[in-house]
Chains A and B, each alone.
Chain A
Amino acid sequence: METAFRPVAVENKEKEVIARESVSYWKDAWRRLKTNKVAIVAIFILATIVIMTIIGPSISGHDYKEINSSMINQRPSVEHWFGTDALGRDIFSRVWQGGRISMIIGLTGALIATVVGSIYGSIAAYFGGRVDTIMMRIVEILISLPYLILVILISIILDSRSIGTMLLALTLAGWCGIARLVRGQMLQLKQQEFIMAAEALGVKPWKIIVKHLIPNCLGIIIVAISFDVPGYIFAEAFLSYIGLGIQPPGTSWGALASAAQQTFIFHPYQLFFPALMIGLTMLSFTLLGDGLRDALDPKLRQ
């Protein structure tokens, strides 16, 4: 018999083997996100904007509050990169200072709404039945209130126009969307056999929520956050624009745009820069959200 035809003992035939390299859910999602060029550009833009809101106000050499009556309404120049406003303040510094406020409101607003909404939604979904019905009716009532009226009422009642007031006003009804989303997802998950398996093993309810339900909702929660942030940034800009938001000398992108609007015909650059930042930030968050959804959606996983 030729050697080539000698039978070989194929080892490990009894044991199951794995051929591919290990990839966790998050690693896999990141790999998929990386291939999405639009999302990567969005991340890059957002990172730049965030860094600039941190260091921006101090690199131009002009304080954002510094009034210079001899330098009013200057065009962009070497001295003032984005020009100056009607009080001679440096717009470059003010844009980044304003961005700081806008970003803080956008991110904390979305975060508060997410935390509140997720907790509320998971409680409703897990207990179900009557608890669920009552909790969801409350959400529907809150959602049906026009939020502008809510905001105006709150700022009148509290008689304050601080960031805190604005966050409170914006998130008071803002968590409802996420609560619904999380509840829907959890109701679906509750039917899954792995939840039934955990129950059959005698795992306690709170442990099922923490170990199974929440981790499996994280994906959609992250996507919801990235879609929510631009909403809050825009809401803040809008409120500041109509005068209900940040008061001088503090500023935000909305307040800057509002101030620039009166002299828009003569000094368009004063409106251009804050408007550009609002637009870029919102667009980037939305595109990033899109990318994240594609990357995290389990239905697209193979």
Chain B
Amino acid sequence: MSKEKLVEIINLKKYFHVGRNEVLKAVDDVTFEIRRGETLGLVGESGCGKTTCGRTILGIYNSTDGQVLYNGQNVHKMSSSEKVKFKKGAQIIFQDPYASLDPRMTIGEIIAEGIDVHFKLKESERIARIDDLLEKVGMNSDFRSRFPHELSGGQRQRIGIARALAVEPDFIVCDEPISALDVSIQAQIVNLLIKLQNQLGLTYLFIAHDLSMVKHISDRVGVMYLGSLVEITESQELYRKPLHPYTKSLISAIPIPDPKVEEERQRIKLEGEVPSPINTPPGCKFVKRCSYAMDICGKVSPELKEVEKDHFVACHLYK
């Protein structure tokens, strides 16, 4: 795999004002890169800012500060013609297969939406194109005239994928594409995503809270906690050798579907709950739940450092 950077995220911040003097730091100074052809997983618990991060990268949300470079171009400072080109190159797949398809449109119309914006096609070519996309996601042309509510969750998610593929993007943000689905269907969708990646050379940013699935699909994985990226490395390495205390407890909290393994496992207990992301105090955000917390942790927020080759962690334990 090439090391060429497709998307660079540099000191990205996205704050929401949620009331007088109250600031929700959904994404707080995050820096990472997405390499061409890879799948970068982004995990974290609800409210950690992973979805906001994905949407800000695509320019759906304006950034508060920092840059997102797509092929070296700043996404948030594009002219309108550059923006159209960017939207052809970078797409998104949403979590909720029920809310992400317009209930009044047929499947054909939904898939054609992007085609109509970016390509000028004759009606017959257009239909051929739609059928081809349906074929790609494992469905047949009978579905073209159907409505979303006639489809199952997994089928709808396939349509969501087809819609994104319609404009021939090279980068797709998969925003929790499987968490609303049943386990057996999750596997179908993940296999489909992998197959499409191999066929079309796609680059994915795969956002999810399910670390086992993320580890399975991703080449590298980033872990987010309360708006910050705490660790990012190659996916096997992350499981084999997690460095950040939060990553360690996250991995240990995930139950493994094997009774004997479960019986022998020692859990790292993580006390308390994720604190509110509104008006966070300075210092490391994990400090209150961290059993290794030191004095410095409450004062200075740690920076993301390359501790081992290609293994970045933001923690004062590692110098």
Nearest residue, chain A, Cβ from B158: A16
A197: Cβ under 8 A from any B Cβ? yes
Per the bound structure, the CA–CA distance linking A122 and B154 in Å amounts to 33
Interface centre among A16, A199, A212, A216 (most CB of B within 10 A): A16
B104: Cβ under 8 A from any A Cβ? yes
Task: Please determine whether A194 and B101 come into contact, CB atoms closer than 8 angstroms.
Answer: yes
Task: Please determine whether B99 and A200 come into contact, CB atoms closer than 8 angstroms.
Answer: no
Which residues from chain A contact B84 at a C-beta distance below 8 Å? 202
Per the bound structure, the CA–CA distance linking A215 and B139 in Å amounts to 27
Which residues from chain A contact B95 at a C-beta distance below 8 Å? 193
For window 129-167 of chain B, which residues contact chain A by CB distance below 8 Å?
Answer: 138-140, 142-143, 145-147, 149-151, 154-155, 158, 160, 163, 166-167
A201: Cβ under 8 A from any B Cβ? yes
Task: Please determine whether A201 and B117 come into contact, CB atoms closer than 8 angstroms.
Answer: yes
Per the bound structure, the CA–CA distance linking A203 and B105 in Å amounts to 15
Identify the stretch in A21-29, A138-146, A245-253 within 8 Å (CB) of chain B at 4 or more residues. A21-29
Q: How far is the CB of B8 from chain A (nearest CB, A)?
A: 20
Partner of A197, one of B88, B94, B104, B142: B94
For window 256-302 of chain A, which residues contact chain B by CB distance below 8 Å?
Answer: 298, 301
B118: Cβ under 8 A from any A Cβ? yes
Once A14-B138, A25-B104, A216-B102 are accepted as A-B contacts, the answer to whether A199 and B146 lie under 8 Å apart by CB is no
Once A16-B155, A24-B147 are accepted as A-B contacts, the answer to whether A202 and B100 lie under 8 Å apart by CB is no
Task: Please determine whether A202 and B118 come into contact, CB atoms closer than 8 angstroms.
Answer: yes
Once A193-B96, A200-B60 are accepted as A-B contacts, the answer to whether A216 and B146 lie under 8 Å apart by CB is no
Which residues from chain A contact B100 at a C-beta distance below 8 Å? 192-194, 196-197
> Taking beta carbons and an 8 Å cutoff, which residues of B are in contact with A?
55, 58, 60, 83-84, 87-88, 91-92, 94-96, 99-105, 113-114, 117-118, 138-140, 142-143, 145-147, 149-151, 154-155, 158, 160, 163, 166-167
Additional pairs, 4, CB under 8 Å, beyond known A16-B158, A193-B95, A216-B103: A16-B143, A22-B145, A22-B146, A197-B163
Per the bound structure, the CA–CA distance linking A113 and B22 in Å amounts to 41
Q: How far is the CB of B60 from chain A (nearest CB, A)?
A: 6
Per the bound structure, the CA–CA distance linking A98 and B234 in Å amounts to 81
Task: Please determine whether B145 and A194 come into contact, CB atoms closer than 8 angstroms.
Answer: no
A20: Cβ under 8 A from any B Cβ? yes
| Total inter-chain residue pairs, C-beta < 8 Å | 92
Task: Please determine whether A203 and B113 come into contact, CB atoms closer than 8 angstroms.
Answer: yes
A130: Cβ under 8 A from any B Cβ? no
Task: Please determine whether B102 and A194 come into contact, CB atoms closer than 8 angstroms.
Answer: yes
Which residues from chain B contact A301 at a C-beta distance below 8 Å? 149
Which residues from chain B contact A218 at a C-beta distance below 8 Å? 104
Nearest residue, chain B, Cβ from A196: B60
Task: Please determine whether B158 and A200 come into contact, CB atoms closer than 8 angstroms.
Answer: no
Task: Please determine whether B140 and A298 come into contact, CB atoms closer than 8 angstroms.
Answer: no
Give the interface residue-count category, chain A. Answer: 20 to 34
Task: Please determine whether A199 and B150 come into contact, CB atoms closer than 8 angstroms.
Answer: no
Task: Please determine whether B87 and A202 come into contact, CB atoms closer than 8 angstroms.
Answer: yes
Interface centre among A18, A192, A193, A218 (most CB of B within 10 A): A193
Q: Which 8 A-B pairs have the closest CB atoms?
A: A202-B87, A193-B100, A201-B114, A215-B104, A193-B94, A194-B102, A193-B99, A16-B139
Which residues from chain B contact A23 at a C-beta distance below 8 Å? 147, 150
Mark each residue of chain A from 162 to 206: 1 if its CB lies under 8 Å from any CB of chain B, else 0. Answer: 000000000000000000000000000000111011111111100
Task: Please determine whether A201 and B163 come into contact, CB atoms closer than 8 angstroms.
Answer: yes
Task: Please determine whether B118 and A199 come into contact, CB atoms closer than 8 angstroms.
Answer: no
Which residues from chain A contact B117 at a C-beta distance below 8 Å? 201-204
Which residues from chain A contact B118 at a C-beta distance below 8 Å? 202
Task: Please determine whether B102 and A200 come into contact, CB atoms closer than 8 angstroms.
Answer: no
Per the bound structure, the CA–CA distance linking A212 and B143 in Å amounts to 20
Per the bound structure, the CA–CA distance linking A23 and B113 in Å amounts to 22
Instruction: List 30 A-B pairs, Cβ < 8 Å.
Output: A16-B138, A16-B140, A18-B146, A22-B145, A22-B147, A25-B147, A192-B100, A193-B95, A193-B96, A193-B100, A194-B101, A196-B92, A196-B94, A197-B160, A198-B113, A199-B60, A200-B58, A200-B87, A201-B91, A201-B117, A201-B163, A201-B166, A202-B83, A202-B84, A202-B167, A211-B102, A212-B105, A215-B102, A215-B105, A298-B103
Which residues from chain A contact B105 at a C-beta distance below 8 Å? 211-212, 215
Nearest residue, chain B, Cβ from A197: B100
A37: Cβ under 8 A from any B Cβ? no
Per the bound structure, the CA–CA distance linking A202 and B58 in Å amounts to 12
A137: Cβ under 8 A from any B Cβ? no
For window 205-258 of chain A, which residues contact chain B by CB distance below 8 Å?
Answer: 211-212, 215-216, 218
Q: How far is the CB of B168 from chain A (nearest CB, A)?
A: 12
Task: Please determine whether A15 and B140 come into contact, CB atoms closer than 8 angstroms.
Answer: yes
Task: Please determine whether B113 and A201 come into contact, CB atoms closer than 8 angstroms.
Answer: yes
Which residues from chain A contact B154 at a C-beta distance below 8 Å? 16
Per the bound structure, the CA–CA distance linking A197 and B92 in Å amounts to 7
Interface centre among B102, B118, B158 (most CB of A within 10 A): B102
Q: How far is the CB of B184 from chain A (nearest CB, A)?
A: 13
Nearest residue, chain A, Cβ from B55: A196
Task: Please determine whether B150 and A20 come into contact, CB atoms closer than 8 angstroms.
Answer: yes
Per the bound structure, the CA–CA distance linking A11 and B154 in Å amounts to 20
Which residues from chain B contact A194 at a C-beta distance below 8 Å? 99-102
Interface centre among A18, A200, A204, A215 (most CB of B within 10 A): A200
